[in-house]
């Protein structure tokens, strides 16, 4: 007998009187009002800012610590027409950060050199190797490190001794004994409000550019007045979504307007990227489009070869130049998918045969492609629900990425630091490097740290949060559009709402499709109303008995097909009705 996913269903509650009050004041449905209340938006002003964010909601960029001194340093070098070098990271956040700052400098008639690590020969971030490569090209007057540099104490000290100024704009956690010299903008190193602490690197670069332009406008610089800051929302949104930042506060403003700009006036590079990703011109771009279609293509170049290609794509001036680069990236993405398919098969087999009962998962295979280990770690976390580290071999070291769903990896790795040569990252995503002969001892330490963590902190079992129980007759285009207009964009801390419908049966015309028929389309009959259509990804093996009522969990959206828009349900889970 088929069953659902065997996870806990958690029905969220709210103050129903407060919900009704909020709905009346804002002129929205009671269902939407309940969702806002459940997400902590109980005050009218907070709820209004959430459902209708405005550009004016953005904070003064000078609230960031060190912003005054950073702008002063940058301005001095711009006025001197100094040689400026930019070092960015090779993920989407680093690539978008680099493209944004390069584009701004070019509008002040400065053509900076920019460097992105070659991950196979230079490793991650502001390494000694990339610093040497930069200096071989020329000696800059100013180095700006983007999405890296927080833990590059030795490298920055080396540059400053050579008489080179250094500015770091980064959001990573400090994992070394002291902060580097130079000037640093990093909201995690001092007290900042939550809006600033939740920004990724490209968001911080956007704040820095905003501050710099305010300063130049104050000096009467016509070039600063000519720059439309909001025209960069698109690439800032791209990096923010890809780096899985909370879609709340300032991030929500940037992402909402950034996604809107995709449909209105796409820059050539993003237009070309949408074309190869089969996203039609003029179509509304969603967070899911960025996460599953655009971001993987931007990431792939840094994973498999040189991440300068996507930077050049974002900086392209015309569509023909952009299309040539986008096609190269799309070809690499297909190769990445092939490599990923082979590695995930081997990784799952390794877990099942050797580590199925471990509290965490640590895998190492010298033959795996290092460009896909982060993707594999994320897939294993979703598959097994455990913190996961996946490593391949680079330059004689076991190097890789870690992902987690419900345990802080920074805390866990802090207890295993003696077994690693280098590590760093966020609570849910980290990078590690250690000697291959230390992998087994590191695995033991990693698992012990997880067990200690679970003893002191209660780790919740996997559960699905359900915002509301709907009647199938209440679902229509108006309700779907309300969710689209007021709740999107979705993302971290603003997840797509999941609804429950009780006592339904799928029509007998359910259709199975895809490789190995892993997915299915379903229809739900309604009296005197159009049938509801839906789709279930990777759930064909859990198809319910046709002659029994089931309760289903679904997301509701507006989908696009052949130029048209239609209401679509997406099945999340089901169980037999009691």
Q: How far is CA 131 from CA 112, 127, 164, in A?
A: 15, 6, 12
pLDDT at 167 over 60: yes
My answer on whether 117 and 186 are in the same domain is yes
479 and 451 part of one domain: no
Q: In this structure, what CATH number is given to the domain that contains residue 169? A: 3.90.1640.30
Domain assignment present for residue 441? The answer is yes
What is residue 241's predicted lDDT score, i.e. its pLDDT? Answer: 94
Mean pLDDT of the 130-145 span: 95
Q: Are residues 503 and 364 in the same domain?
A: no
Quick check: 544 pLDDT over 80? Answer: yes
pTM, 2 dp: 0.86
Domain boundary residue, one of 456, 475, 502:
456
**Look-up of token digits 């080396």:** 158
Last-in-domain residue among 456, 474, 497: 456
Task: Give the tens place of pLDDT for each residue, 11-20.
Answer: 999 888 889 9
Higher pLDDT, 562 or 472: 472
- Could you tell me which residues are beta bridge partners of residue 469? 500
With 70 as the cut, is the pLDDT of residue 183 above it?
Answer: yes
- Total structural domains in the chain? 3
Say if residues 528 and 494 touch (Cβ distance below 8 Å). no
Is 556 among the domain residues?
yes
Q: Residues 505, 548: contact at Cβ < 8 Å?
A: yes
Amino acid 456: pLDDT:
75
**Quick check: is 164 in a domain?**
yes
pLDDT at 281: 77
Q: Are residues 488 and 452 in the same domain?
A: no
Please tell me whether residues 88 and 224 are part of one structural domain.
yes
Let me know whether 441 and 536 are in one domain. no
Residues 222, 81 share a domain: yes
Residue 123, pLDDT score: 73
Q: Is the pLDDT of residue 576 over 90?
A: yes
Average pLDDT over residues 49-55: 94
Tell me the DSSP string of 332-400: HHHHHHHHHHHHHHHHHHHIIIIITT-SSEEEE-TTS-GGGHHHHHHHHHHHH-S-EEEEEEETTEEEE
What does the pLDDT read at residue 427?
79
| pLDDT band at 282; cut points 50, 70, 90 | confident
Is a pLDDT exceeding 90 seen at residue 189?
no
Q: Are residues 437 and 553 in the same domain?
A: no
CB 532 within 8 A of CB 523: yes
| Enclosing domain of residue 115 | 57-228
Q: Is residue 38 part of a domain?
A: no
> Which of 83-87, 381-385, 414-418, 540-544 ranks highest by mean pLDDT?
83-87
Tell me: do 384 and 436 sit in the same domain: yes
Alpha helices, DSSP H, located in 394-543: 409-414, 439-456, 477-486
Tell me: do 550 and 486 sit in the same domain: yes
- Can you give the CATH number for the domain in which 372 is found? 3.10.310.30
Q: Is residue 401 part of a domain?
A: yes
Pair (568, 524) in one structural domain: yes
Our CA dihedral for 264, 267, 273, 274, rounded to 10 degrees, sits at 10
pLDDT surpasses 80 at 222:
yes
The strands making up 429-434's β-sheet, listed across from edge to edge, are 361-364, 388-394, 397-403, 429-434, 422-425
Residue 70 clears pLDDT 90, i.e. is over it? yes
pLDDT the model gives residue 100 = 98
Copy the structure tokens of residue 305.
């070869």
At which of 228, 263, 280 does a domain end?
A: 228
* Domain-located, residue 514: yes
**Is 348 inside a domain boundary?**
no
pLDDT above 70 coverage of the chain, percent:
98
d(CA 5, CA 47): 33
H or E stretch including 567? strand 564-576
At 146-157, the pLDDT tens digits run 999 999 899 999
The enclosing domain of 570 has a CATH number of 2.40.50.460
Cα 87 from chain centroid? 21
Helices (H), 107-248: 119-122, 128-137, 153-161, 194-197, 201-218, 222-226, 233-242
Residue 174 lies in a domain: yes
- One domain, residues 494 and 442: no
Q: Which of 118-127, 325-334, 431-440 has the lowest mean pLDDT?
A: 118-127
């Amino acid at each position: 007998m088929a069953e659902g996913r065997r996870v806990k269903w958690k029905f969220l509650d709210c103050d129903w009187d407060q919900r009704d009050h909020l709905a009346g004041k804002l002129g929205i449905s009671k269902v939407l009002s309940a969702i806002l209340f459940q997400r902590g938006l109980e005050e009218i002003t907070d709820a209004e800012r959430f459902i209708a964010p405005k550009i004016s909601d953005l904070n003064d960029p000078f609230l960031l610590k060190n912003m005054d001194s950073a702008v002063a340093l940058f301005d001095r070098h711009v006025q001197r027409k100094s040689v400026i070098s930019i070092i960015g990271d090779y993920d989407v956040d680093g690539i978008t950060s680099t493209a944004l700052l390069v584009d701004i400098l070019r509008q002040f008639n400065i053509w900076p050199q920019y460097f992105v690590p070659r991950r196979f020969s230079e490793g991650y971030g502001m390494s000694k190797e990339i610093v040497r490569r930069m200096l071989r090209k020329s000696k800059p007057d100013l180095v700006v490190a983007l999405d890296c540099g927080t833990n590059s104490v030795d490298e920055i000290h080396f540059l400053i001794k050579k008489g080179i100024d250094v500015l770091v704009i980064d959001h990573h956690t400090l994992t070394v004994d002291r902060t580097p010299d130079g000037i640093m903008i990093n909201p995690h190193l001092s007290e900042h409000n939550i809006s600033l602490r939740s920004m990724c690197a490209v968001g911080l670069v956007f704040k820095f550019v905003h501050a710099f332009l305010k300063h130049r406008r104050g000096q009467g610089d016509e070039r600063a007045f000519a720059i439309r800051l909001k025209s960069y929302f698109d690439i800032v949104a791209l990096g923010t979504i890809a780096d899985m930042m909370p879609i709340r506060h300032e991030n929500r403003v940037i992402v909402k307007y950034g996604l809107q700009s995709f449909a209105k006036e796409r820059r050539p590079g993003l237009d070309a990227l949408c074309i190869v990703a089969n996203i039609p011109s003029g179509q509304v771009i969603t967070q899911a489009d960025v996460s599953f279609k655009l971001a993987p293509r931007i990431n792939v170049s840094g994973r498999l070869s040189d991440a300068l290609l996507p930077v050049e794509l974002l900086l392209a001036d015309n569509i023909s130049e952009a299309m040539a680069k986008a096609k190269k990236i799309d070809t690499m993405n297909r190769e990445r998918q092939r490599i990923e398919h082979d590695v995930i098969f081997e990784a799952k087999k390794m877990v099942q045969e050797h580590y199925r009962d471990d509290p965490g998962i640590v895998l190492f295979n010298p033959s795996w492609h290092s460009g896909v280990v982060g993707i594999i770690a994320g897939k294993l976390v979703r598959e097994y629900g455990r913190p996961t580290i996946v490593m391949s071999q680079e330059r004689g070291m076991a190097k890789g990425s870690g992902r987690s769903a419900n345990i802080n990896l920074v805390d866990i790795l802090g207890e295993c630091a003696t077994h690693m040569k280098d590590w760093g990252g966020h609570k849910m995503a980290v990078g590690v490097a250690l000697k291959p002969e230390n992998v087994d001892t590191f695995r033991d330490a990693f698992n012990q740290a997880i067990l200690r963590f679970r003893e002191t902190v209660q780790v919740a079992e996997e559960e699905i949060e359900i915002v509301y129980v709907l009647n199938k007759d209440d679902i229509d285009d108006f309700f779907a559009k309300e969710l689209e207009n007021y709740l999107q964009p979705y993302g971290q801390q603003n997840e797509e709402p999941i609804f429950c419908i009780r006592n339904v049966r799928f029509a007998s015309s359910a259709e199975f499709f895809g490789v190995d028929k892993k997915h299915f389309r379903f229809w739900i009959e309604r009296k005197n109303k159009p049938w509801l259509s839906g789709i279930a990804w990777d759930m064909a093996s859990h198809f319910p008995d046709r002659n029994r009522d089931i309760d289903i969990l679904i997301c509701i959206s507006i989908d696009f097909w052949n130029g048209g828009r239609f209401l679509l349900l997406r099945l999340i889970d089901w169980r037999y009705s009691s």
